[in-house]
Amino acid sequence: MSHRVSILSSHLSPVMASEKEAALAATPSDSPTIFDKIISKEIPSTVVFEDDKVLAFRDITPQGPVHILLIPKVRDGLTGLSKAEERHIDILGRLLYTAKLVAKQEGLDEGFRIVINDGPQGCQSVYHIHVHLIGGRQMNWPPG
Protein backbone atom coordinates (compact mmCIF):
# COMPACT_ATOMS: atom_id res chain seq x y z
CA MET A 1 0.00 0.00 0.00
CA SER A 2 1.41 3.41 -0.94
CA HIS A 3 1.98 6.02 1.76
CA ARG A 4 -0.79 8.21 0.28
CA VAL A 5 -3.32 5.36 0.33
CA SER A 6 -2.27 4.55 3.90
CA ILE A 7 -2.88 8.15 4.99
CA LEU A 8 -6.26 8.26 3.22
CA SER A 9 -7.31 4.92 4.70
CA SER A 10 -6.51 6.08 8.20
CA HIS A 11 -8.88 9.04 7.78
CA LEU A 12 -11.93 7.03 6.72
CA SER A 13 -14.57 6.92 9.38
CA PRO A 14 -15.74 3.49 10.59
CA VAL A 15 -19.23 4.28 9.24
CA MET A 16 -17.87 5.04 5.76
CA ALA A 17 -15.74 1.91 5.77
CA SER A 18 -18.60 -0.29 6.97
CA GLU A 19 -21.01 1.21 4.41
CA LYS A 20 -18.51 0.44 1.66
CA GLU A 21 -18.03 -3.08 3.01
CA ALA A 22 -21.79 -3.58 3.23
CA ALA A 23 -22.20 -2.38 -0.36
CA LEU A 24 -19.50 -4.69 -1.63
CA ALA A 25 -21.05 -7.63 0.25
CA ALA A 26 -24.65 -6.92 -0.80
CA THR A 27 -26.19 -8.88 -3.64
CA PRO A 28 -29.34 -8.03 -5.55
CA SER A 29 -32.22 -10.43 -4.99
CA ASP A 30 -35.99 -10.59 -4.90
CA SER A 31 -35.91 -11.51 -1.22
CA PRO A 32 -37.42 -9.03 1.24
CA THR A 33 -35.02 -6.26 2.27
CA ILE A 34 -34.75 -4.31 5.49
CA PHE A 35 -36.86 -1.64 3.73
CA ASP A 36 -39.67 -4.14 3.14
CA LYS A 37 -39.62 -4.82 6.88
CA ILE A 38 -39.75 -1.09 7.61
CA ILE A 39 -42.71 -0.68 5.21
CA SER A 40 -44.56 -3.53 6.94
CA LYS A 41 -43.68 -2.03 10.36
CA GLU A 42 -41.78 -5.19 11.41
CA ILE A 43 -38.80 -2.90 12.01
CA PRO A 44 -39.47 0.48 13.64
CA SER A 45 -38.44 3.72 11.99
CA THR A 46 -38.95 7.43 12.47
CA VAL A 47 -41.37 8.18 9.66
CA VAL A 48 -41.48 11.79 8.44
CA PHE A 49 -43.78 11.26 5.44
CA GLU A 50 -46.05 8.51 4.20
CA ASP A 51 -48.63 8.21 1.47
CA ASP A 52 -49.91 5.31 -0.59
CA LYS A 53 -46.75 5.16 -2.76
CA VAL A 54 -43.79 6.50 -0.75
CA LEU A 55 -42.39 6.13 2.76
CA ALA A 56 -39.80 8.61 4.09
CA PHE A 57 -37.94 8.00 7.35
CA ARG A 58 -34.82 9.18 9.17
CA ASP A 59 -31.57 7.35 8.37
CA ILE A 60 -30.11 5.57 11.42
CA THR A 61 -26.57 6.62 10.40
CA PRO A 62 -27.12 10.23 9.33
CA GLN A 63 -24.53 11.98 7.20
CA GLY A 64 -25.88 15.41 8.09
CA PRO A 65 -28.23 17.11 10.54
CA VAL A 66 -31.05 15.96 8.25
CA HIS A 67 -30.73 12.59 6.50
CA ILE A 68 -33.92 10.99 5.30
CA LEU A 69 -34.45 7.93 3.11
CA LEU A 70 -37.34 7.89 0.66
CA ILE A 71 -38.47 4.54 -0.70
CA PRO A 72 -41.28 3.28 -2.89
CA LYS A 73 -43.66 1.08 -0.95
CA VAL A 74 -43.73 -1.42 -3.82
CA ARG A 75 -40.34 -2.44 -5.23
CA ASP A 76 -41.71 -3.76 -8.57
CA GLY A 77 -38.26 -4.94 -9.70
CA LEU A 78 -36.76 -1.51 -9.04
CA THR A 79 -33.80 -2.67 -6.99
CA GLY A 80 -31.63 0.19 -8.23
CA LEU A 81 -31.71 3.05 -10.71
CA SER A 82 -29.83 0.98 -13.30
CA LYS A 83 -32.77 -1.46 -13.24
CA ALA A 84 -35.36 1.24 -14.01
CA GLU A 85 -37.73 0.61 -16.89
CA GLU A 86 -40.27 2.85 -18.56
CA ARG A 87 -42.97 1.56 -16.19
CA HIS A 88 -41.02 3.10 -13.28
CA ILE A 89 -41.16 6.69 -14.57
CA ASP A 90 -44.08 7.66 -12.31
CA ILE A 91 -42.57 6.32 -9.09
CA LEU A 92 -39.15 7.81 -9.85
CA GLY A 93 -40.74 11.23 -10.34
CA ARG A 94 -42.85 10.71 -7.22
CA LEU A 95 -39.75 9.95 -5.14
CA LEU A 96 -38.02 13.16 -6.26
CA TYR A 97 -41.13 15.32 -5.83
CA THR A 98 -41.66 13.83 -2.37
CA ALA A 99 -38.02 14.62 -1.53
CA LYS A 100 -38.77 18.27 -2.35
CA LEU A 101 -41.84 18.23 -0.09
CA VAL A 102 -39.94 16.61 2.78
CA ALA A 103 -37.03 19.06 2.35
CA LYS A 104 -39.48 21.95 2.75
CA GLN A 105 -41.10 20.23 5.75
CA GLU A 106 -37.63 19.84 7.32
CA GLY A 107 -36.78 23.52 6.77
CA LEU A 108 -34.04 22.92 4.21
CA ASP A 109 -34.69 26.25 2.48
CA GLU A 110 -30.96 26.91 1.89
CA GLY A 111 -30.51 23.70 -0.09
CA PHE A 112 -30.04 19.97 0.20
CA ARG A 113 -28.50 17.04 -1.62
CA ILE A 114 -30.24 14.10 -3.25
CA VAL A 115 -28.25 10.88 -3.61
CA ILE A 116 -29.17 7.59 -5.27
CA ASN A 117 -26.48 4.95 -4.84
CA ASP A 118 -26.46 2.30 -7.56
CA GLY A 119 -24.51 -0.95 -7.56
CA PRO A 120 -21.38 -1.93 -5.66
CA GLN A 121 -19.20 0.92 -6.93
CA GLY A 122 -22.02 3.36 -6.16
CA CYS A 123 -21.99 2.04 -2.57
CA GLN A 124 -25.53 0.60 -2.72
CA SER A 125 -26.05 -1.68 0.26
CA VAL A 126 -29.84 -2.27 0.08
CA TYR A 127 -31.29 -3.44 -3.23
CA HIS A 128 -34.59 -1.58 -2.97
CA ILE A 129 -34.21 1.77 -4.71
CA HIS A 130 -33.98 4.62 -2.25
CA VAL A 131 -33.29 8.32 -2.32
CA HIS A 132 -31.12 9.95 0.32
CA LEU A 133 -32.19 13.49 1.24
CA ILE A 134 -29.30 15.13 3.11
CA GLY A 135 -29.19 18.69 4.38
CA GLY A 136 -28.75 21.08 7.25
CA ARG A 137 -25.03 21.59 6.54
CA GLN A 138 -22.80 22.88 3.76
CA MET A 139 -22.16 20.16 1.21
CA ASN A 140 -18.81 19.83 -0.55
CA TRP A 141 -17.88 18.99 -4.13
CA PRO A 142 -16.87 16.55 -5.33
CA PRO A 143 -18.71 14.09 -3.11
CA GLY A 144 -16.90 11.00 -1.79
Q: Which positions are catalytic?
A: 130
Cα→Cα distances 40→33, 48, 95, 122, Å: 11, 16, 19, 27
DSSP, collapsed to helix, strand or coil, labels residue 31 as: coil
Order of strands across the sheet that contains 66-72: 47-50, 54-58, 66-72, 131-135, 112-115
Other Cβ atoms less than 10 A from the Cβ of 36: the count is 17
